[in-house]
Every structure is written in C-alpha cells, then in structure tokens.
Amino acid sequence: MYGIFLIAVLILTGGAIAFIGDRLGTKIGKKRLSIFGLRPRHTSIIVTIITGALITTMTFAVLAATSENVRTALFGMEKLKRHMAEMQAGIEQATGELQAARVEKEAADSALDKAKVDVEKLQNQQKELEAVSRELQAGNDLLQQEKENLQRERDSLSSENQSLLADNDSLAENNEKLSKDNKNLERNAERLKDGLITMREGDITFRAGEILASGVIQGGRSEEAVEADLQSLAQLANRNVSARLGINQTDQGLWIYQPEAEAAIKAIAESSQDMVVRIVAAGNLVRGEVVRASLELYKNSIIYGSKELILAKPYTLRKHDEEEAEMVVMDFLMNVNQAAVAKGILPDPIRGSVGVIEGAQFYNLVENLRSCTDHIVLTAYARDATDAMGPLRLDFKLEPAQDSDGIYSSK
C-alpha cells in the first residue's frame, strides 16, 4: 500500500513539474525572453532541460526522503557491499563451525551410544553385585546366627566345665575305689582265663544256639496253663540233655533265667496265636557244667498245606553221571530250603535246614536223574500240612521240561 502511494506521489510531482516547465517555456517563448544573452529558442531548450533535471531531482529527493533502502542504494552501496562481504564471511565461518559442530555431534552421538552400552553393562554388573550382596548378607546373617549359637554353646560348655570341675573331686575319690576294684577284676580275669582253658580243653556237649527242645504252646490261655506246658517242655529239654550226656537227669540240671521265663509265659498267654517255643543253649556247654538255656518265641501258623507246591526249577543235564546228578539234587535241596525259610519255616539254628529227606529218597532221585532227558524240571511238594516249627517233609516230582507228565514221585 505504501509503494502505491509513493508511485502516485511521484507521478503527481513529475506531472506538476512538467506542467510548470511547459507553462514556463511557453511564456518564455511568447515573450521571447532570453537568459544569459541566448536566443529565445535556446532559452526555451535550457528551461526544458532544467525542468527535466528538476523532475529527476525531485523524484530522487522524494524517494530518498521516503525510503531508507533508496538512501542506502544511493549513498551506502559501498558500505552495504562491505557489510555483505562481512556477512558472507560470517556465513562461511558459521557454515564451517556448523560442519565442525556436526562432526562433533556425530562423535558425541557415537560416544553417547558407547556410553549407553557401558551404562547397560554397568547396570547389569550392578544387578549382579546386588545379587552377590544379598547372598553375602544372607551368609552374614547365617554366620551371625552361628556366632550366637556358638556363644550359647560356649556359655553352656563353660557351665558344664564348672560342673565337671566340681565332679573332678568326686572322680578323684572314686579313683581309689576303682583301683581296688581293678585288682578284684584282675583276679576274676585269672579265674575266667582258667575257665576258658577248661572250655577249650573240656568236652563241649552243646553249641551256642543249639535246640535242646521245641514245641508248640497254645496261646490265649491262663498263665498257669501256659507255665505248665513250658515246664513240660523244659523237662523234655532236660531229658534230651541227659540223653546226650548219658547221665541221670538229676546229675546235671537245666537252668533258665527266671525273668525270661516269666516274660515268655506272659507273652504266650496274651497272644491270640499259638507260639513255637524253642529252648536253646545259651552258650557252648561243657560236660559237668550247669546247662544254661534261653527261650525263643515265634508265632505259629500253617506254612504249607498238604501236597502244596514249594519250588519248581528247571535243569539241563550234560554228563548223565552220578556226580552231576548229586550236584543237581544238592542245589535243588538248597533252593527248596531257602524258599521254605523265606515262607516262614523256622530253620535249625546250627545247620540252617528246615526239611527232612530220607536217604532212600535222595538216592532214588539221583538214579532217576541219571537216566532222564537233558532238559528236566524238579518240583518239591510238602508231604503233609506243616507249621512254622516243622520239620518240612518233602515229596519230589521229576519231569521233562517239554511235557507235564511226571515220571518220578518219591513218598
């Protein structure tokens, strides 16, 4: 809007000056005025030139008065050029600095990324250190607790130490008494040594654990009835001992610890089952000594019914001779014995056997093995119903492994 106003002012000013110059030139021409002695025609030309110069001068004057940019263009161009050169140099310097700043920024960004990685590593290390710190703290707590426990134990030991010191005088007094008792023990040791020599050189009639007598006593009765049966079993044991020694029953008696006998009577009386009672030698017995015995109690029940299977085992015979047949029979009898013991038959404490096999049974079984096929199965059955006390009497069956028809039975 300001530019349009300026243009309008310039047009009006130029037009006014031209009009005035024209009017002035016309008057000069009509009156034939002369300037500086010039002809009127030349004077008119000079007035026209002066009018045009005034128009230009007024134009620049108005522009310079109204516009700082025009004044700068007319009078400050060199200064403006110098300022622009300085500005250009400043721009170039700023551009260089900006480029350097960009390089520095890139380096800073790289360093920042590296610093972030380092920070993450440090954070991870911090977490690990915190975990280790927690573990160490837990360990420290445990150590503190152990320290407190040790302190309590130390206090307790200190108290016990005082008590031990107090007992020391009493122990010192007992020391003299023990010294006296030691002499008595030495004398007893000499007597025991003499007794051991007697046992080694003497006639051992019963080994420790050997059965002197055994029987089944009915449980769930009065203690008096049970005691009567136990007395009968003890008399049987006494007779067996006398028969072994070849003496009268009154010459060497049977001794059972009375509290042990009373406990056995009570246990049998309170039991709902019949009990197998064994009277066994309490130790190796030498002829001439009192027969010391102990009682063994076992619950009694039927272990095998009549004709019940005990064991069946396959064998392969190669030599078909008597030695191999005997080895097979002995191995089978050992396995039968183990099976019966595992089932509940009480074994002989000395020999470990539970069964009874007649000599004729054994040799008949051996002879039949010598003449049978290569692959056979030996089977053992209980001949009669047998309880835990036994003895277990056996029947045998020998058959080829490929069929089920028995080819041998010994009864």
Q: What was the pLDDT predicted at 241?
A: 77
Strand 204-206 and strand 285-286: the pairing is: antiparallel
Q: What was the pLDDT predicted at 190?
A: 59
Residues 148, 307: Cα–Cα separation, whole Å: 72
**Nearest residue to 254 via CA among 277, 226, 232:** 232
| DSSP letter (8 states) at residue 378 | E
Q: How far is CA 366 from CA 369, 398, 407, in A?
A: 5, 11, 13
Q: What was the pLDDT predicted at 292?
A: 80
Q: How confident is the model at residue 267 (pLDDT cuts 50, 70, 90)?
A: confident
Residues 381, 399: Cα–Cα separation, whole Å: 14
* Structure tokens belonging to residue 319: 């030599």
Q: List, for residues 271-282, the tens digit of each pLDDT value.
A: 888 888 888 887
Q: How far is CA 389 from CA 264, 280, 297, 298, 348, in A?
A: 17, 14, 11, 9, 10
> Could you write out the three-class secondary structure of 213-248?
EEEEECCCCCHHHHHHHHHHHHHHHHHHHHHHHCCC
Q: List, for residues 140-169, the tens digit of each pLDDT value.
A: 888 888 888 888 888 888 777 777 777 767
Q: What was the pLDDT predicted at 231?
A: 85
Predicted confidence (pLDDT) at residue 336 exceeds the cutoff of 60: yes
* Structure tokens belonging to residue 30: 């009509």
| DSSP letter (8 states) at residue 352 | -
Q: Which helix (H) or strand (E) holds 358?
A: none
Backbone angles phi, psi at 356, to 5 degrees: -125, 120
* Structure tokens belonging to residue 113: 């990324």
Residues 188, 96: Cα–Cα separation, whole Å: 119
At which residue do the structure tokens 């030599």 appear? 319
Residues 304, 381: Cα–Cα separation, whole Å: 9
Residues ≥6 apart with Cβ < 8 Å to 113: none
* Structure tokens belonging to residue 365: 């079984």
Q: How confident is the model at residue 188 (pLDDT cuts 50, 70, 90)?
A: low
Domain boundaries, the chain: 2-75, 206-300, 304-410
Q: What was the pLDDT predicted at 407?
A: 37
Q: List, for residues 24-55, the tens digit of each pLDDT value.
A: 667 766 666 666 666 666 777 777 778 777 77
Q: How confident is the model at residue 410 (pLDDT cuts 50, 70, 90)?
A: very low
Q: What angle do CA 79, 81, 83 make, to 5 degrees?
A: 70
Task: Write down the pTM of the prediction.
Answer: 0.43
Measured over the CA atoms of residue 116, residue 120, residue 122 and residue 123, the dihedral's sign is positive
Q: What was the pLDDT predicted at 404?
A: 43
Q: What was the pLDDT predicted at 197?
A: 46
Task: Check residues 105 and 291 and name the one with the higher pLDDT.
Answer: 105
| Cβ–Cβ < 8 Å for 236, 242 | no
Helices H, strands E: what count in the chain? Answer: 8, 13
Q: Is 148 helix (H, G, I), strand (E, B) or coil?
A: helix
Q: Is 75 helix (H, G, I), strand (E, B) or coil?
A: helix
Residues 306, 205: Cα–Cα separation, whole Å: 37
Predicted confidence (pLDDT) at residue 59 exceeds the cutoff of 50: yes
Residues facing residue 379 across a β-bridge: 312, 397
Q: What was the pLDDT predicted at 189?
A: 52
Average pLDDT over residues 316-321: 72
Residue 362 class from Cβ within 10 Å (0-12 exposed, 13-18 middle, 19+ buried)? middle
Q: Which helix (H) or strand (E) holds 209?
A: none
CA 407 to chain centre: 60
Q: What was the pLDDT predicted at 196?
A: 47
